A and B are shown apart, each in its own frame.
Chain A
């Protein structure tokens, strides 16, 4: 009995300690960011970032940039992740599958700043891609791939265990069996994709090396010199201008909300599976 109470007490304390930074973070963000967003209104989501001392403006350019890069990064990562995961699952135990798995696991632990630098050297400098959304998206996709792949592996493996034999037993061909495994495992895979997008949405370091530091250009062509929300926050937050600081807070709240929504969606998808 005493032991039970003690355990309960410890759990309670640790919950509070976990909640403390989270709630503190959220309250600061809300207190500082919410008034900015209310003041700016819709303009805040669509407008151009202001000049120093020149009102509030908006974060439309970088929000567009972030979304653009997320889409391009997803277009690159999703097929690669799914195919990699499928290979690893279907050829589990094989040498190449083991090597792939090892690479994916290592990539998760890789410092994102190094990924940024590598993409800068290879794509921006050597391949002359320039500092733009595409370069940024390439760096982000390299960060996203291991996350989505690992999630996909777990879910496709389960789906394979459950449906490989069933598929073959129904007289399906190899390709139809793979379709079946993908289709039955899709919710977990989608969860992984959402988590991956949430992860890259807030990534700052790689953007610093692969995109520009001017924030007032909308996307005209695929290679327009643009950047994302985190870079703007990074630059504005350390500026001496009050209006820039306000914009940074507002942008930070928007970023936090987006990521939270993505995670919630991911959770909903996971739960649907049961």
Chain B
């Protein structure tokens, strides 16, 4: 059981009475892997991702049925604030706090959550997060500059550092490179690979090529349903399901 971070079964989600996720069964996210989720837009990928750290429940008129376990524990019985500190998320559009310095962006959650009070510890934690996000060398001389001086790719890594500062066990990423140039995107992909030794990564990917490059496991969502999931090398070369075949071959 400890080998799976999330276990999802019989999951259904309605938003505003619209059936968004339909009977997602027997989906298990193995620990310390990159688990990619792909599918056409509107297939429910973002909805699914936000479910995993209970951000979805902030929306109005959301109805959730079924089972989601986090290390074997029912996530709906975990305090959402605690859960979110353990399961970080990064969105499509880089969204650093533009009014804060680079340093404060990373330090913010630690300070606001009262996790670190001592200045020296804070500096250590911020430095560590920036190093883990592969950004430290690029920003170490301008930690007090506002986040807006960074490029899109750097901003996205800053956002990753901001999430990593809380030392999460899982990082959710929703199409993190779709707004980033190729070089920036490649750096983020390399970063994710290096992170998976310590944490589990669930990545909504905007291209099957990216998913193929970096994921260990991959799932296809289509029209709110889980079509197929499994090890990436199998799915991309020998998909079992015809829809998967069509999706990765670009026939839909």
Contacts and interface: CB of A to CB of B under 8 A. Distances in A.
A179 to B, nearest CB: 8
Contact of A173 (B60, B81, B97, B162): B81
A170 B58 contact: no
B99 A171 contact: no
A173 B82 CA distance: 10
Given A171-B84, A171-B113, A172-B109, A166 B95 contact: yes
Interface in A133-181: 162-166, 168-173, 176, 179-180
Given A169-B89, A172-B109, A163 B95 contact: yes
B166 A170 contact: yes
A183 interface: yes
A52 to B, nearest CB: 54
Nearest to A185: B99
B95 A171 contact: no
B17 to A, nearest CB: 15
B237 to A, nearest CB: 35
Interface residues of B, number: 24
Given A170-B166, A171-B82, A184-B97, A165 B109 contact: no
Interface in B69-92: 80-82, 84-85, 88-89, 91
Given A93-B60, A173-B81, A176-B112, A168 B99 contact: no
A184 B99 contact: yes
Interface residues of A, number: 19
Contact of A183 (B60, B80, B99, B109): B99
Contacts of B85: 170-171
Contacts of A32: none
A44 B97 CA distance: 46
A168 B95 contact: no
Contacts of A168: 55, 58, 80, 84
A199 interface: no
Given A165-B55, A165-B58, A176-B112, A170 B84 contact: yes
Nearest to B111: A176
B163 A170 contact: yes
20 contacts: A93-B60, A164-B58, A166-B91, A166-B95, A169-B55, A169-B84, A169-B163, A170-B85, A170-B88, A170-B113, A170-B162, A171-B82, A171-B109, A171-B113, A171-B166, A172-B113, A176-B113, A184-B97, A184-B98, A187-B99
